[in-house]
Amino acid sequence: MRKLETDPEGQRPTLLEYLEQQGWKKWWRAGGEEIAGLCPLHRESKPSFFVNRRKGVFYCHGCGCGGDVIRLMQLLEGLSFRQVRARLTQQEHATPPLTEAIRFYRSQLPQWPQALDYLERRGIRSQEVIERMRIGYAPGACLRGHLEALGYAPATIEGSGLLNARGCDRFYRCITFPLNGDSNLYGRAIDEARHYFLPRPKGGLYGWERAGRWPS
C-alpha cells in the first residue's frame, strides 16, 4: 500500500487519497470543489456521498454521516480516534513493529518485580547495564493490544514473528535482549529453560532453531 498523501499543511492524508485506496469511485463533479459518488458507509444505488476537495471533508445525504479523513477511517474500519492518529504516525515514520515491541518490553521491565529478581539472581543489578543492553520483559497477553492501539494492522503484527501460532506473545514471561540493532530479539524465560529468537531462515546464531523449543 502506498503512503497516504498529505494535505497542504502536511498534517494528515488527503480524503480523496484514502477513499481511492478503499476502492471508492467518483461518479461526477457536483460543481465547484465537490465530487459525488456512492457512499462507502452504506449500500445505495444512487450517489449521495459528496466530497469537498478543498476543505477535505465529506457528507452523505443518505446516512447523514460526515467529517474529515480521520472520521471516515473511524467509521469504515471501526477504529478509535487514538488508533487512527497512531496509524497515520506509523505510516509517516514507518517504525517496524519489532522496534516498538522492544520499546514496550523495556518500559514493562521496571513494573515486574519477578523479572527484576531474575536479573539480580543472574548477577545483573546495575541500571546502567540494563539500559545499555536495552533489556526488557515480556509479561504476555498485552503486546498485540499495545501494537493495535498504536495503529499497526493485524497482518503487520502477525508477519513480524512476535506472535506464536496461537496469536500469543512469543516471548511470554521472557527477559528480552535486542540483537544486531533491532533486527532480532532473544528471549530467556524467567520460570523455565526456554530460549527464543524471532523466526528466521536457518543459518548462524540468529537462525538457530530446535524442534520442540518453539511455542506452539
Q: Tell me: the pLDDT tens digits for 46-79?
A: 999 999 988 889 999 999 999 999 999 999 999 8
> Does the CA dihedral 78-108-189-162 come out positive or negative?
positive
At 99, the pLDDT band (50, 70, 90 cuts) reads very high
Model confidence at 121: pLDDT above 70:
yes
| pLDDT computed for residue 6 by the predictor | 40
Percent of the chain with pLDDT over 70: 82
Q: How confident is the model at residue 200 (pLDDT cuts 50, 70, 90)?
A: low
Structurally, at CATH architecture level, domain 15-89 sits in Alpha-Beta Complex (3.90)
Lowest mean pLDDT among 7-16, 64-73, 83-92, 172-181: 7-16
Q: Which residue has the higher pLDDT, 193 or 31?
A: 193
On average, the pLDDT of the chain sits at 83
Q: Where in the chain is the domain with CATH 3.90.580.10?
A: 15-89
* Per-residue pLDDT at 209 exceeds 80: no
Residue 93 has a pLDDT of 54
Amino acid 186 reads: Y
Residue 156's pLDDT band (boundaries 50, 70, 90)?
confident
The secondary structure of the chain, three-state, reads CCCCCECCCCCCECHHHHHHHCCCCEEEEEECCEEEECCCCCCCCCCCEEEECCCCEEEECCCCCEECHHHHHHHHHCCCHHHHHHHHHHHHHCCCHHHHHHHHHHHHHHHCHHHHHHHHHCCCCCHHHHHHHCCEEECCCCHHHHHHHCCCCHHHHHHCCCECCCCCECCCCEEEEEECCCCEEEEEECCCCCEEECCCCCCCHHHCCCCCCCCC
Q: Quick one: fold of 95-207?
A: DNA primase DNAg catalytic core, N-terminal domain (3.90.980)
**Residue 12 confidence (pLDDT):** 57
Q: How confident is the model at residue 30 (pLDDT cuts 50, 70, 90)?
A: low
Distances (CA, A) of 38 to 7, 22, 43, 139: 23, 12, 8, 46
Does position 158 have pLDDT exceeding 50, yes or no? yes
Task: Answer yes or no: is pLDDT of 216 > 60.
Answer: no
For the chain, how many residues are written?
216
For CATH 3.90.980.10, list the domain ranges present in the chain. 95-207
- Which of the four pLDDT bands, split at 50, 70 and 90, describes residue 170? very high
* Residue 201: pLDDT over 60: no
The phi-psi region of residue 214 (left if phi > 0; otherwise alpha if psi is between -120 and 50; otherwise beta) is: beta
- Indicate if the alpha-carbon torsion angle 28, 32, 33, 39 is positive or negative: negative
pLDDT score for 27? 87
Q: Once rounded to an integer, what is the mean pLDDT over residues 138-150?
A: 89
Sign of CA dihedral 196, 197, 199, 204: negative
Q: Do residues 40 and 19 touch, judged by C-beta distance below 8 A?
A: yes
